[in-house]
A and B are shown apart, each in its own frame.
Chain A
Amino acid sequence: MKRIVADPRKCLACRGCELACAMAHASTDDLARMIAEQASKPRIYIESAGGLAVPLQCRHCDDAPCVRVCPTSALSRQGPTAPVRSDQTKCIGCAFCVEACPFGVIRLAAARGSAVLGNGKVVLKCDLCETRVAQGLAPACVAACPVSALRFEDVDQGAKNARVRTAMAALAGFADGRE
């Protein structure tokens, strides 16, 4: 399964991913109209830590605590490799998922087409841009990142790349160190 991978060493905190995320899930393609929409909120967050900016969004955990605690099945996954989906029409706004998430990347926000009445808020989280990905596009945040701090890649492939990098570095060490 491909996931969104962030490199905090590259992130410049431009927040372009946040805007692109909100835009990708809005009912308009006009920036000014989008920000005026109550329900248009980003599902990716830039948090600062020790002078670095760290982009965070749903990790789509294999054994997802949010799915386990959801009493109405508003959070679910269709198969072992599918992203964790949220269904705002089923959400009752209990916020169990928000508390359960180890990364704090689920929030409650104004609803679009939800069963919750009045000013009720419902679950809002990264859907891994399923519609975009189905069209062969990268998730909106990845496509928007001007410095490639966000990548969309298979975790196994990412690990493989890291091993190759390590091997290359080790090889260089050997080449420099000995006859």
Chain B
Amino acid sequence: MAERQWRSIDIATNEIREYASKVGIETAWDRLEAQEPQCGFGKLGICCRNCLMGPCRIDPFGDGAREGICGATADTIVARNLLKHICAGSAAHSDHGREVIHALLLAAEGKSEAYKIRGRSKLYALADEFGIARDGRSDEAIAKDLALLLLGEFGRQEGTLLNLARAPEQQRKNWEAVGACPRGIDREIVTALHTTTVGVDNDPEHILMTCARAALADGWGGSMIASDVSDVLFGEPQPLRSRVNLGVLKEDEVNILVHGHEPTLSDVIVAAASDPELLALASAKGAKGINLAGICCTANEILMRHGVPIAGNFLQQELAVATGAVEVMLIDVQCVFPALAELQSCFHTKVVSTSPKARFPGAVHIEFHEDAAYETAKEIIRVAIENYPNRDRAKVKIPRVEEKLVAGFTTEVVHRILGGRYRPSYRPLNDGIQAGRLRGVAGVVGCNNPRFPVDNCHVELVKELIRNEVLVVQTGCSAIACAKAGLLTPEAAMKFAGKGLQEICRAVGIPPVLHVGSCVDNSRILTACAEMVKEGGIGTSFDKLPVAGAAPEWMSEKAIAIGMYFVASGIFVVIGQPLPVQGSPMVTEFLTKTMEKQFGATWAFEADPIKAARLMIDHIDRKRRELGLPGPMYEVPYAPKTAEEEPRARPEVLEAVGAGR
């Protein structure tokens, strides 16, 4: 493939990708080339495989078939396909949430040694919020009530999701007005999938409203519950320092990578990795220690809570194995390439699948069950240690590339870092926005996609936003991309941010780009927006806020669900490649224009990161004008600052982050 198509701004990625290519190891980019040209019907969304009278396709040129065999038009087919994607995305996040509740229940019932309630203040806050009595009751008793209550949200048959009460009153009214309030989490997904079967819902606009509800059940249901319960069980994240990129792998230690999404096993792996018995075994095998690092959102979960370094994001999963220095790649669910198993024939790495839900042909399967978490964790680490002597030193190629980062920001943490321990508040944030020192806030999230050079769009978009005084919050692989580019450090404010954002970062001691966690933690962005509304002065519902979202290199169905719950919550979202809907001008129009009327926000499709940033900034400026807020306090020059410019980091700013471990 032409080099310009994949050359990343991340030199570690380029180095290993070139090496893999040279020695003939097949990676995602090679497989993309074999797939090209990709099917236009799929890209346009006008292929229907929902019944076996078909498959049917609509002729995009208007000469041939205008309807499927049942009579479904391009509009219906496109809308239905989008709904199926959203259901899959919502299901993924929500099932993740359910697993974490199961682990909390085990902890509450004392049935697992591995799980303890480590986020007591979050437990109490949730108990108070949901009316669970806690006078004189043990943490375990409270946690059990909480776990059972939240499990009930999945099968809820009446009323709407409890978490909707967290949204501003006007926001709830907006949803009620268009009938978008999600009922039970599972119910929304099941009902939606019912409506996509042959001959059920055929009104494209009605299907798109179902899309919104199924997505809201993710954002305000499954994902939000996953974040909350993870905080109760594994502890609330606090700002901390760590490192990122393939350079975190170690030449002389047993390297274990965790990859996937759920924290239930990886969090226990963190504890087991310091087990004296295992450390002794590692030493006996000639290793200096056990080095744990992560890929994708499992990595983000244990980064946020334990500062475990991150080896890479989505498109680095194969490259990490190709360093030849990984003893075990532990995988659970979501975003894991089945291609990893094939790499075992080139390297000594053992790919260990652990989820009862997800098998990978060729991988070693050591099934993980919450009730025997610690034993399983130890067993997997033992496999890694035993595999260490098999490492072929001649094949080891660890790029000497790593970057520092600060992570661990949450809705609650922002309260404290802004307002101080005794007067936690979002007031300084709202003040900053109202005065124009800050232009607004943007969430930049989502995947990597081999159709784009790894990380480039994330990093360019985020740099352009912070240069224009927009505070950025990030999750998932997007956060990892920007971490690799050094944007998740307080120094980055001095290097890349506009003057107003610099002042805020310096005063509070934060990076201009805040890592708020894994992809289920996008729900933290929703609760943070709710806090901004509650603090007052910048709008009574989300669609009034000077905020915007983006997923520049998205590829997963989960990203569609996330984008849709943000748009349906009133937040403008720009994505890189278009949704697979353009075979229907009506659906495209609905998503990019009409939704403004029902939800106060729309989608936009823009692959160029600088143009995408411009769309977001223009949107933020429009919201500022509607709120009667002044323009930015400092004029931003048009030409972007370059990375080569002299950094002006100050030691006191580095110290201000303080909480690093």
Q: Which residues of A contact B (CB under 8 A)?
A: 14-16, 18-20, 22-23, 31-32, 35-36, 40-42, 143-144
Contact = CB atoms under 8 A, between A and B. Distances in A.
B256 to A, nearest CB: 39
Contact of B40 (A19, A36, A143): A19
B585 interface: yes
A35 B57 contact: no
A16 B582 CA distance: 17
Contact of B578 (A14, A32, A143): A32
B61 A22 contact: yes
A36 B585 contact: yes
Contacts of A143: 37
5 contacts: A16-B39, A20-B40, A32-B588, A40-B61, A143-B37
A177 B44 CA distance: 55
Contacts of B44: 31-32, 35
B43 interface: yes
A143 B63 CA distance: 24
A152 to B, nearest CB: 16
B63 A41 contact: yes
A35 B588 CA distance: 14
B585 A31 contact: no
Query: Which 4 A-B pairs rank lowest in CB-CB distance, beginning with the nearest?
Result: A32-B582, A19-B40, A35-B60, A144-B37
Nearest to A42: B61
B576 interface: no
B583 interface: yes
Given A32-B578, A35-B61, A15 B583 contact: no
- The main secondary structure of chain A at its interface with chain B is helix
Contacts of B60: 19, 35
B426 to A, nearest CB: 40
Interface residues of B, number: 15
A164 B585 CA distance: 51
A158 to B, nearest CB: 24
A51 B41 CA distance: 22
B41 A31 contact: no
Contacts of B41: 14-15, 19
A163 B43 CA distance: 41
Contacts of A22: 61
A47 to B, nearest CB: 11
A35 B583 contact: yes
With most chain A CB atoms within 10 A of its CB, the pick from B37, B41, B582 is B37
A20 B37 contact: yes
A16 B37 contact: yes
B38 to A, nearest CB: 9
Contacts of A20: 37, 40
Interface in B24-50: 37, 39-41, 43-44
Nearest to A33: B582
Given A14-B41, A19-B41, A23-B40, 19 more contacts: A14-B39, A15-B57, A16-B40, A18-B61, A19-B40, A20-B40, A22-B61, A31-B44, A31-B582, A32-B44, A32-B582, A35-B60, A35-B61, A35-B582, A36-B585, A40-B61, A41-B61, A42-B61, A144-B37
Contacts of B578: 32
Contacts of A23: 40
Contacts of A40: 61
A122 to B, nearest CB: 16
Given A36-B585, A41-B63, A31 B40 contact: yes
Contacts of A31: 40, 43-44, 582
A23 B37 CA distance: 12
Nearest to A23: B40
A5 B633 CA distance: 66
B55 to A, nearest CB: 10
Contacts of B582: 31-32, 35
A35 B583 CA distance: 8
A40 B37 CA distance: 18
A14 B55 CA distance: 11
B39 to A, nearest CB: 6
A18 B46 CA distance: 15
